[in-house]
Structure 1
Amino acid sequence: MTEAPIPQFLDERLAWWAEHDPDGEAMTYLDRTWTWAQWNDRVRRAAGGLRDLGIGRGDVVAFLDKNHPACVEISQAAASRGAANAIVNWRSAGDEVDYAVNDSGARVLFVGAELMPTIEAIRDRLTAVEKVIVVTPDGADGDEYERWLAASEPVGRADDVTPEDTCLVMYSSGTTGRPKGIMLSQANMLAHTINAHDGWGFEPGDKSMVSMPLFHVGGSSYVLFGMHDGVPSVMTRDPDGASLAGAIMKGANRTFLVPAVLAQVLQSGPDAVKVFGKLKTYTYGAAPMPPPLLRAAMEAWPDTDFLQVYGLTEVAGVATHLLPEHHRDPGHPERLLSAGIPIPGVEVRIVDPASLGDVAVGEEGEIWLRTPQLMQGFLNRPDETAEVIVDGGWFRTGDMGKVDDGGFVYVQDRIKDMIISGGENIYSPEVERVLAEHPAVLEVAVIGVPDDTWGESVKGVVALKPDTTATADELIAFCKASLASFKCPRSIDVIEALPRNPSGKILKRELRKLHWGGRDSAIV
């Protein structure tokens, strides 16, 4: 088969596979499967439908639902019109949906049927939305989205579209204030797709499991991998154990998931471990992987390639990766604690956040990135964009870290999450790694809490493995065996489960609120 040319536009590879492998399997979702030709036809019809609704270059549509191929179709179709898809977190409350849809300026809103009550309650506040189209999970008779597609004329890409046009608006987690709309162009997304492929290695017969939420860059960027390489994808509506196992049984053997999923699998018994052993590649990211969990997974699945990624929505996803050979390198076991090396097309600097000068190898500073993957900016927020994209096109991540003499990047903490106790800088991941080694600890978060003497003191919050026990005093003593005294937690809470956002990140701000409420602190 002729090799596909390097794409310039987001919809280019789908059209190429529709021409060169029209009957090949492209996407499976629940009980439906589409070939490349069928999927491309749906995207072209969606583009025609958007054209008829007056959507053109610079416009925005929005999508609110659990994972659904229709979201990918609308992203592709909007891009072919020079427009953007603002993908809204389906777990958001009504006021949060109201904010995101209005902030994006979306003129058309696609909504999952089960989420329509949320929209009906705020419909009068969505003043820019001209049309709402309802999507059902199974596309059964009466599905408004399917009727809209069937009635639309297939059209090609609009003549005025450019690779620099924004194609996705992804809303940040909103750890401080309102979430920011991160504008990613077609060129950003394609650069990421090509660069982050390094070390991935799809082979004939592979299938890609798409289970990360599409409102997260880990979902909307990752789904492009299969489309780029002409590899079938199996998309799950939810990332629960039964859905993931079902996708694997349908042949999915490469995936990207958060570490919390891996922990659940290992605790689900030998049958679950055996099913997940069918995976050729387990890529993980979006949250730290506790070293004991990683070692247990590598032992449970000796034939699986593990690949860690570190990145941010602002760079379309992945910036560094720890490749499979790095995971099992007996000469450098310490590099399991790193986030790996920069992917092609990404430059890394470690900068003193005060002097803005580069620090020496091995010293901590703020991680700066420069890459063609870098966002166009924050929607409607030029001043905040200027704060993070500085001279020379460098992006200030807000993450503290270091680089070793081999070029491996170690992510220490968020700048705002760094604990300063008695003038000492304490990086919570260092303490978390020690606590995670305790045989009773399942998951852990370390935060700074008010201390009238030291300003802040270190506090641990842990959840224990089933059928285990551990007291706070025991856990503190465990830390003292491995850490300097000023780094050790002064207190530890044992709770049932740590709060997480939909992408699996532990919500430290929720833990801090219990202690910083009513105080003048900027770190909540």
Structure 2
Amino acid sequence: MLAPGMAEWLRRRAARSPDRPALTCAGQTWTYAGLVADVERMAAVLAAGGIGRGQRVGYLGLNDPQFLVTQFACGWLGAIFVPLNFRLTGPELAYILNDAGVHTLFADEDHAGLIDEVRASLECQRYLRRAAAPGWEALVPLMAQAKAAPSPAPTHPDEVAAVMYTSGTTGHPKGAMLTHGNFWANNLNVMMMSDLASSDVALNFAPLFHVGGMCCVSLPILMAGGHLVLQRSFDPAGVMQAVAEHRVTVSFAVPAMLLFVSQHPDFDRADLSSLRGISVGGAPMPEPLLRLFVARGIPVNQGYGLTETAAATIFLDPGRAQDKLGSCGTPAMLTEVCIRDFEGRPLTEPHARGEICARGGNIMKGYWNRPDATAAAFYEGGWFRTGDVGYADEEGFYYVCDRLKDMVITGGENVYPAEVESVLYEHPSIAEVAVIGAPDPRWGEHVVAVVALRPGASLTLEALQAFAEPRLARYKLPRALRVVAALPRNPTGKVLKVRLREMGLE
């Protein structure tokens, strides 16, 4: 399959529509020609510092046009982009930077201090930030003086374009190697399954260092020739304001973000009429929240994917959101999906639960410097093991039950926390809920509900059990209730269940 490198397809898009708006952030707009000009200058700055094919360039900072400029500049040179989670500590960042062998690091003004704290342990050879500071080169004057780099370096679809580190729950994070071909296939998947067009305006407030922000919104809309509106971070009021101001047509969010938007006092009167769809992923969408947005006339395009799949794997058309409530959809155009039992054997019976596996052009090449982990992540034939439990119905629609590692086994019965959470979310006193397992001397484990309550609300375990009992089997009912001020979440909105366990909330 022809798969131009990232920089090449951006160059072609700019040649086709140079004066169209490509990117808006903080009141400033770049045309496609202007964006490519910045990419060329950034590529020249990187090349002058010794960056070439296969070398790694790191980026640490909030959402910013410079993130995308740096990513495309890496593609221009055949270098490898390493986006960093800005919520990590200095030692955590140091591990990733050294594991990836990052040569040049850009950090924004808000996060450069984290790097300074661990500078002595780093192996990076060059440090860039916008303004000069001790130990840092100033990027702004370098960009102003740079001459445009030559045409993009030819790249093979199998060449690594980015190493994106997964948030490991045990041990160190692993770097998923995503190729130019992976990004190309993912963009096509999103464009076809979401009907993206050059007339679309896409709003991204999810972190760009995560595949949700990068691969579900930003890169696909740019390849489609549309207009990307970028917010530096998530803010519910800012989201609604941006939709109204820019007449946003499409966006991406994790369910927690939509929950916070729906709880904002302006939600009922906000002008969201331009939205023709919101793609949702990262966690199962609670049914009450789905119904709330559908009632507002906002189609919700649920989907499923991981860092290792460059995101786009399964999509649910908004038109099936009601009759396929709870489903994440059918396989993307360029991806195959199957269910296998826990010994790796394919399961073909409808509703048979097993591990979701996928293969296709969007599946990662492997884990950076982790051949053993790479081998363990794939079955024969290129089938990637997602680590998620799910099933397919009679029509081939897929459902995600939960992460294998989050499943609670009580008295020999499997309890999928997402199923229990979906029921508990409907309790009027609950603002947030997470279900985890706790050791039980009799049953092995029992179900624990960790909740954050709405203002002024109260809740007892007995009341919660009485509420859920008509809809859940008795073994699925919470046997313990823990109330917290707020659930701990990572930057993408996922609940950190490992943190709940570490806090002793089980």
Q: Same fold (TM over 0.5)?
A: yes
Q: Is contact 1:258-1:504 (8 Å) kept? A: yes
> Does the 8 Å CA contact 1:378/1:385 hold for their aligned counterparts?
yes
Gaps of 5+ in 1: 137-141, 518-524
Matched, 1:419 2:408: yes
CA change 1:236–1:159 in 2 (3 A) is closer
Aligned ranges 1:243-258 → 2 under 5 Å: 243-248=238-243, 249-258=245-254
8 Å Cα contact 1:212-1:257 kept in structure 2? yes
1:52 partnered with 2:41: no
- Matches of 2:338 and 2:212, distance apart in 1: 24
Give 1:153's match in structure 2, choosing from 124, 131, 147. 147
Could you say if the C-alpha distance between residues 203 and 387 of structure 1 is closer, same or farther in structure 2, counting changes exceeding 3 Å?
A: closer
- 1:364 corresponding residue in structure 2: 353
Deviation at residue 357 of structure 1 after TM alignment: 4.0
Counterpart amino acid of residue 161 in structure 1: T
Q: 1:193 aligns with which of 179, 187, 191?
A: 187
CA displacement at 1:102 relative to structure 2: 0.9
Given the alignment, which residue of 27, 35, 41 partners 2:37? Answer: 41
* SS at structure 2 position matched to 1:456: strand
Q: Is the 8 A contact 1:49 1:149 kept in 2?
A: yes
1:428 maps to which residue?
417
TM-score (norm 1): 0.91
Q: Which residue of 2 aligns with 1:347?
A: 336
Compared CA separation, residues 203 and 56, structure 1 to 2 (3 A): closer
Q: Kindly indicate whether residue 1 of structure 2 is the aligned counterpart of residue 8 of structure 1.
A: no
Once residues 504 and 267 of structure 2 are traced to their aligned partners in structure 1, the CA distance between those partners, rounded to angstroms, is 42
Q: 1:83 aligns with which of 73, 79, 86?
A: 79
Describe the SS at the equivalent of 1:11: helix
Tell me if structure 1 keeps the 8 A contact 2:301–2:318: yes
Which amino acid in the other structure matches residue 106 of structure 2? F
Q: Assess, with a 3 A threshold, how the Cα gap between structure 1 residues 273 and 477 changes in structure 2: closer, same or farther.
A: same
Q: Is the counterpart of residue 236 in structure 1 residue 231 in structure 2?
A: yes
> Which residue of structure 2 aligns with residue 212 of structure 1?
206
- Paired residues of 1:445 and 1:506 also in contact (CA < 8 A): yes
Match of 1:438 among 427, 431, 443: 427
Distance apart, 1:486 and its partner CA:
1.3
Q: Is the alpha carbon distance of 1:516 and 1:256 closer, same or farther for their aligned partners in structure 2, counting shifts above 3 Å?
A: closer
Query: Which residue does the alignment assign to 2:462?
Result: 473
How far apart are 1:271 and its partner, in Å? 5.4
Q: Which of 290, 305, 330 matches 1:311?
A: 305
Match of 1:177 among 171, 175, 194: 171
TM-score, reference length from structure 2: 0.94
Residue in 2 aligned with 1:382? 371
1:23 Cα offset (Å): 1.8
Distance 1:165 1:315 in 2: 16
Identity fraction in percent: 38
- SS of the residue corresponding to residue 366 of structure 1 reads strand
2:485 to 474, 491, 496: 496
Question: CA offset at residue 480 of structure 1?
Answer: 1.7
CA contact (8 A) 1:60 1:84 kept: yes
Count of residue correspondences: 500
Secondary structure at the counterpart of residue 197 of structure 1? helix
Q: Give the corresponding residue for 1:520.
A: none
| Residue pair 1:401, 1:409 contacting (<8 A) in 2 also | yes
Separation in 2 of the partners of 1:83 and 1:93?
26
Deviations 1:309-341 (A, max 9, x none): 11101010021111111114xxx2xx2111111
Rounded to whole Å, the distance in 2 between the matches of 1:314 and 1:386 is 14
Distance 1:203 1:159, change over 3 A: closer
Asked whether the 8 Å contact 2:23–2:31 carries over to 1, the reply is yes
In structure 1, distance between residues paired with 2:242 and 2:376: 42
Given that 1:83 and 1:167 are in contact with CA atoms closer than 8 Å, whether structure 2 keeps it comes out as yes
By how many angstroms is 1:494 displaced?
Answer: 2.2
Separation (CA, whole Å) in 2 of partners of 1:291 and 1:494: 22
- Counterpart residue type for residue 489 of structure 2: R
**Structure 2 Cα separation of the partners of residues 192 and 204 of structure 1:** 17
Alpha carbon RMSD of aligned pairs, Å?
Answer: 2.0
Aligned-residue offset at 1:6: 6.7
Point out 4+ residue stretches in structure 1 off by more than 6 angstroms.
none
2:410 aligned with 1:450, yes or no? no
AA aligned opposite 1:153:
K
Structure 1 counterpart of 2:393: 404
Q: 1:41-100 deviations in whole A, cap 9, x for unaligned?
A: 111111222222221111101000000111111111111211111000011111111111
Whether the aligned pair in 2 keeps the contact of 1:265 and 1:272 (CA below 8 Å) is no
* Closer, same or farther: CA 355–382 of 1 in aligned 2, 3 Å: closer
Q: How far apart are the structure 2 equivalents of 1:234 and 1:123? A: 34
- Structure 1 CA distance, aligned partners of 2:358 and 2:3? 24
Q: 1:52 to 1:327 in 2, by over 3 A?
A: same
1:225 maps to 2:229: no
